[in-house]
Amino acid sequence: MRRVVRVVERVEETPSTVTLRYDDPSESRPGQFVMVWVPGEDELPMSLAYTGARKGITVKAMGTTSQRIQSIPVGTLLGIRGPYGNAFDLSPPKVLVVGGGSGSAVLAPAAEAAIADGRDVVAALGATTERELLFADRFRGMGAVVHVATDDGSAGAPGYVTGVVDGLLHHQEFDAVWTCGPEVMMRKVITAARASSVPVFCSVERWMKCGLGLCDACALGPWHVCVDGPVFPGEALLGAAGFSEFFRDASGHRRPWGATSKADLGPAGPPPG
């Protein structure tokens, strides 16, 4: 079930995000996640930020566990299982990608694969500040048209990325929207895309334990994010109990999202109880 891999590269992407790369030939598709076991620490669901033979996960530092994972050196052994879950449908000819904060991590490999297949990708990336913009250069390098918004106006449009999205949907035709970020942001993106009659697909995070559809930790409405997701049609999410409202912590206790995403809570999330 698990295989042991060695960290071969460590890249500081932004002040709060680090990418760890490891070699693993297993088949994976953009949107899927792996369970990453850091011996002695924890095992966490991480979306693949790189899906080729040299895979990569991008870790955002929030809690103590995620900070420790960020600081592990090249050469460290990790346990990996997966990839698990579903993937983005890469067939739409022109896609708008909307990434909030570290949400860009799962969108980048999907955009790369789409562009490699001859699709057009426009990326709208949001961050608190310029230095926290994740993978903006990677999106530009792959040939995507990149639009940026920062809360403090240090790069691109000042304010939330949803403002940029509204403008793009108003002025251009898209065949699909892919988004990942805080659920309050994704809810706005879903609403805007629906108003423009564009199908929207969201990568969602929940607390996970088994990753196999058994333990119910990642229950979201009638689904389990680990096996039914993590990519969901936006319309389905609008009616799912908990979407953009609450998630269940390690005990199953319902916790409100507020304006943060699971990624921003760090892998261990808030202390339970």
Partner 1 sequence: MADLRVDLAGVPLRNPLLLASGIWGESGDSLAGAWDAGAGAVITKSIGREPRPGYANPTVDSWDRWGFLNAMGLPNPGIDEYPKEVEVARSRGVTVIGSVFGHDADEFAELAEKIAATGVVGVELNLSCPHAEGLGTEIGSDPTEVEAITRAVVHRVRVPVIAKLTPNTDDIVALAVAAERGGAAAVSAVNTVRALSINAKLRRPTLSHGLGGLSGPAIKPVGLACVWQIYRKVKIPVVGVGGVSTGEDALEYLLAGARAVQVGTAVAFDGIKVFTSIRDELGRLLDEMGIASVADVVGGAHRAA
Q: What is the binding site for partner 1 (CB under 8 A)? A: 1-2, 4, 35, 37, 39-44, 77, 79, 209-217, 219, 221-222, 224, 227, 241, 248-254, 272-273
Nearest to 149 by CA among 139, 134, 136, 159: 159
- The SS3 of residue 107 is helix
Q: Which is nearer to partner 1, 37 or 120 (CB)?
A: 37
Q: Classify residue 193 as exposed, middle or buried by CB count within 10 Å of its CB (0-12, 13-18, 19+).
A: buried
Nearest to 89 by CA among 113, 71, 118: 113
Asked whether the beta carbons of 242 and 223 are under 8 A apart, the reply is: no
Supply the minimum distance, in Å, between the C-beta of residue 247 and partner 1.
Answer: 11
Supply the minimum distance, in Å, between the C-beta of residue 210 and partner 1.
Answer: 5
Q: Which is nearer to partner 1, 91 or 251 (CB)?
A: 251
Q: What would the two tokens of residue 231 be?
A: 């990519």
Q: What would the two tokens of residue 44 be?
A: 């966490």
User: How far is Cα 33 from Cα 261, in angstroms, rounded to an integer?
Assistant: 17
Supply the minimum distance, in Å, between the C-beta of residue 22 and partner 1.
Answer: 14
Q: What would the two tokens of residue 260 be?
A: 């943060």
Q: Which is nearer to partner 1, 11 or 74 (CB)?
A: 74
Q: Which is nearer to partner 1, 44 or 231 (CB)?
A: 44
- The SS3 of residue 29 is coil
Q: Which is nearer to partner 1, 4 or 195 (CB)?
A: 4
Asked whether the beta carbons of 204 and 245 are under 8 A apart, the reply is: no
Q: Which is nearer to partner 1, 36 or 95 (CB)?
A: 36
Asked whether the beta carbons of 201 and 177 are under 8 A apart, the reply is: yes
Residues 6 or more apart whose CB falls under 8 angstroms from that of 197 comprise none
Decide the pairing of beta strands 94-100 and 176-180.
Answer: parallel
Supply the minimum distance, in Å, between the C-beta of residue 206 and partner 1.
Answer: 11
Supply the minimum distance, in Å, between the C-beta of residue 29 and partner 1.
Answer: 20
Residue 71: other Cβ atoms inside 10 A: 12
Supply the minimum distance, in Å, between the C-beta of residue 222 and partner 1.
Answer: 5
Supply the minimum distance, in Å, between the C-beta of residue 163 and partner 1.
Answer: 34
Q: Which is nearer to partner 1, 115 or 210 (CB)?
A: 210
Supply the minimum distance, in Å, between the C-beta of residue 144 and partner 1.
Answer: 35
Q: Which is nearer to partner 1, 11 or 241 (CB)?
A: 241
Nearest to 260 by CA among 102, 124, 115: 102
